[in-house]
Structure 1
Amino acid sequence: MGAERTIELLSSTASLCPVCLKRVAAIREQQGDAVYLVKECPDHGTFRTVIWRGAVPFATWLRPKKPSAPRRPLTAVAAGCPHDCGLCPDHGQHTCTALIEITARCNLRCPVCFAAAGASGADDDPSLERIEFFYDRILEASGPCNIQLSGGEPTMRDDLDAIIALGRDKGFGFIQLNTNGLRLAENPDYARSLKQAGLTSVFLQFDGLSRSTHQTLRGRDLHAIKEQTIHHCGAAGLGVVLVPTLVPGVNTHEVGAIIDYAVRHAPTVRGVHFQPISYFGRYPQAPTDTERLTLPEVIELIEAQSNGALLAEYFAPPACEHALCSFHGTFLVEEHGRLTPLGSGQAACCSTGEPRTSLPTALEGREKSVRFTARQWSLPALALAPADACACSATDRPQDDFDRFLARARTHTFSLSAMVFQDAWNLDLERLRGCCIHVVSPQGFLIPFCAYNLTSQQGRPLYRGMVQP
């Protein structure tokens, strides 16, 4: 039997007990190529959860930044993080994306839904006047940022176009729809109406290509519906981002196929944003480490299933949120379908890899991310031009290779990214304080996404469904 691997203490942080949700001390410790979050509650014992596992070194991935308080905190510091979210003055990052849940209704009953969608009726939807209040609160607390309209399933609302138009009138330049795509697939005129109202991008639930994946995660085979949605969005001028929820043993073998599919549907499809499953809801037994998928493991799946065409070195930590939350890489889709990296991963457009002599500020990262996301996830108008349209310059001079590269780069950039959300077992309050994706609560407070959706082992929420003062 080989020697037992040495456990190395890396750093300390704080977390919550997954049983009672009380704040507890936590440490990060490394054993081999895996890093664990370890915490102990005096009432409920010790919890140890893998947070990093794979060939990408943990230490080289970290990117410190100088925290920056919210533009205008809406809550005071009282009970301490994460019980004062709103945002409080101790939060270290501004809002990059504000998520507004405009309905709890849904036309699917997905086993992996974290929003408990479908549990209410139309009368429970926030009114247009209330949504205007949400927009105003975002501007008050954060200033203009990217908006994602979510739910439930937001297309259940017949006034979705009015909600979008209201957001554009308020000055939000990038509005994205988080959707399962069912209604968009029904009629191409629906996508056009949303585009005319001011919608920019569609964040499309897309878990894989096989019937078994769809049946397991969504309860029915949706492949043909998803493809029809993509076609209708492209015809309407809407950029699409494919968003797979990755579940070990269910669809992790489809990572490469999803990327290939997305590339075939470029430039309408602007990228793939992988989301490894997090465990919200009632889980009386803690999820095992085999049920976890960490950021380096997603990178390794991309490299392996692309047969080495997409290397780990092409991906880098984010500029905006905490480095342990996500990765990003930007590529050019060449004419034959190959993805060519635009710079090294350490200089990715949405990353913090550029050499510099001082720590970047959280605000710098936020501004960079807002601009990049709005640009990359939108469908450029040039992409809608006829395929045989002249791409020559005003002087009609012959194009060289560089001219052709620039012309294609205007329409065929492509992003690959992933974000690992936190649940009650792997919650790291250092990460949470660096969160830039904030949900607008029914009372109008801005709450970090993972805190808003967090539930105890028995399903008791920290924020969702709770009444804030």
Structure 2
Amino acid sequence: MIIRESTLKKGLPKETESVCPECGKIVKAKIFDENGRVMIEKKCSEHGGFKDVYWSDAGLYLKAEKFAYDGIGVENPKIKAKKKCPFECGLCDLHLSHTCLANIDLTNRCNMRCPICFANAAAAGYVYEPDYEQVVEMLENLRRNRPVPTPAVQFSGGEPTIYPKFFDVVKKAKELGFVQIQVATNGLKLVDFDFCQKMKDNGMDTVYLQFDGLNDEIYVQARGRKMLDVKMKVVENCRNVKPKPLSTVLVPTIINGINNDQVGEILNFAVKN
């Protein structure tokens, strides 16, 4: 493992670069402690000044800085000789980091129509769905990264489990040497135990399960339908696949006034399971 201590300036106050939220132009910014909160302040010559909370707890920010490490970049980036950041974006030769976990959207289609959707799925007015060969090229490109081939991939969407060749791309990811393969899912397809077992058989490691809380009223408001029985069944199925369980990560969307009181309950459920 290659670890490099971060070269970024530590402590407060400090100066950095940011972007204007209106036009995207690079502007100078100052990060500082104000009454125990970390603030960021910047000014655009065209759109004026902006000030916002950077971290809500200055003490925790300074503590977290002690664990800051740089990545090692990529020796063979797709975008080279980049001069304008954040435009012409991509994994370029200005990046200090390398890809640890890559997300690949298999589709923007979904088998639900949630009132609150992280991915704005099924609302774009068009279908995005790369074919199998395109997904394989994405996977191969990630594994070609040097000096560190991307070790982990998460299939997402939309709802990735409805992708026509879902099991094929999971199997291909395993064949290419990804040591951690994940799927971000609402869980509807995983109610079928055979589906879970087939995922495991093809190389799936982790289910990144949308999980908003432990009562159905939350799901009615956030997802448009009762879902708690689905979540419980998915957790059970993931536990019972062979030869060993699928790791399960509970992924809540915290909505003020709907489920912000469920954070502790979700943590307790995770501990018990």
* TM-score of the alignment, normalized to the shorter chain, above 0.5: yes
2:134 is equivalent to residue 130 of structure 1: yes
Partner of 2:214: 209
Asked if 1:180 corresponds to 2:186, the answer is: yes
In structure 1, runs of 5+ residues without a counterpart are 1-7, 266-469
2 CA distance for matches of 1:235 and 1:224? 17
Which residue number in structure 1 is paired with residue 229 of structure 2?
Answer: 224
Task: Please give the secondary structure, in 2, of the residue aligned with 1:138.
Answer: helix
The 2-side partners of 1:44 and 1:111 are apart by 34
- For 2:163 and 2:143, the matched residues in 1 are separated by 24
Match of 1:116 among 111, 115, 120: 120
**Aligned twin of 2:239:** 234
Matched, 1:160 2:166: yes
Q: Is the 8 A contact 2:114 2:223 kept in 1?
A: yes
User: Equivalent of 2:33, from 16, 30, 36?
Assistant: 30
Contact 2:13 2:32 (C-alpha < 8 Å) held by counterparts: yes
Q: Cα–Cα, structure 1 residues 213 and 43, in superposed 2: closer, same or farther, change >3 Å? A: farther
Partner of 2:6: none
Contact 2:79–2:92 (8 Å) recurs in 1: yes
Separation in structure 2 between the aligned mates of residue 27 and residue 221 of structure 1, nearest angstrom: 46
* Aligned twin of 1:394: none
- Cα 1:57/1:210, change in 2 over 3 Å: same
Shift of 1:145: 0.8
The 2-side partners of 1:34 and 1:169 are apart by 47
Distance 1:220 1:47, change over 3 A: farther
Identity %: 35
Letter in 2 for 1:218: R
1:385 aligns with none
Residue 259 of structure 2 corresponds to residue 251 of structure 1: yes
Q: CA deviation at 1:216?
A: 3.5
Residue aligned with 2:72, SS: coil
Deviations 1:355-376 (A, max 9, x none): xxxxxxxxxxxxxxxxxxxxxx
**1:145 alignment partner in structure 2:** 151
Normalised by the length of structure 1, the TM-score is 0.51
Answer whether contact 1:105 1:120 (CA < 8 A) is retained.
no
Q: Deviations over 1:27-76 (max 9, x none)?
A: 21221121112222222222222121148442232134345221421102
User: Residues 213 and 250 of structure 1 are in contact (CA less than 8 Å); yes or no, is this contact kept in structure 2?
Assistant: yes
- Give the deviation of 1:118 after TM superposition: 1.0
2:81 pairs with 1:73:
no
Distance 1:91 1:126, change over 3 A: same
**Which residue of the partner structure matches residue 323 of structure 1?**
none
What is residue 170 of structure 1 aligned with on the other side?
A: 176
| 1:16 matched residue in structure 2 | 19
Q: Give the structure 2 partner of residue 42 of structure 1.
A: 45
User: Hey, what does 1:260 align to over in structure 2?
Assistant: 268
Equivalent-residue separation in structure 2 for 1:215 and 1:55 (angstroms): 37
Asked if the contact 2:121/2:158 (under 8 Å) is kept, the reply is yes
Write the distance in 1 (CA, Å) between the matches of 2:230 and 2:170: 23
1:128–1:122 CA distance, 2 compared to 1 (3 A): farther
TM-score scaled by length of structure 2: 0.85
In 1, Cα distance between the equivalents of 2:220 and 2:21? 30
Instruction: Pick closer, same or farther for the CA change 1:67–1:170 going to 2, 3 Å.
Output: closer
Equivalent of residue 61 in structure 1, options 56, 59, 64: 64
CA RMSD between the two structures = 2.3
Q: CA deviation at 1:183?
A: 1.3
Write the deviation string for residues 156-212 of structure 1: whole angstroms up to 9, x where unpaired.
113211110111111112211111111112x11111111111111101111212334
Could you tell me how far 1:249 is from its partner in structure 2? 3.6
Give aligned pairs, total: 257
The 2-side partners of 1:47 and 1:110 are apart by 33
1:120: how far off? Answer: 6.3
Pair 55,44 (structure 1): closer, same or farther in 2 beyond 3 Å: closer
1:105/1:122 contact within 8 Å kept? no
Q: Which residue of 1 aligns with 2:8?
A: none
The answer to whether the 8 A contact 1:29-1:35 is kept is yes
| Structure 2, unpaired ranges of 5+ | 1-10
> What letter is aligned with 1:159?
K
Q: Deviations over 1:231-268 (max 9, x none)?
A: 11111121111111223443222111101111222xxx
Change (3 A) 1:121 1:169: farther
Q: Decide whether the 8 Å contact of 2:75 with 2:93 is kept in 1.
A: no
Find the aligned partners of 1:133 and 1:26 in 2 and give their Cα distance.
39
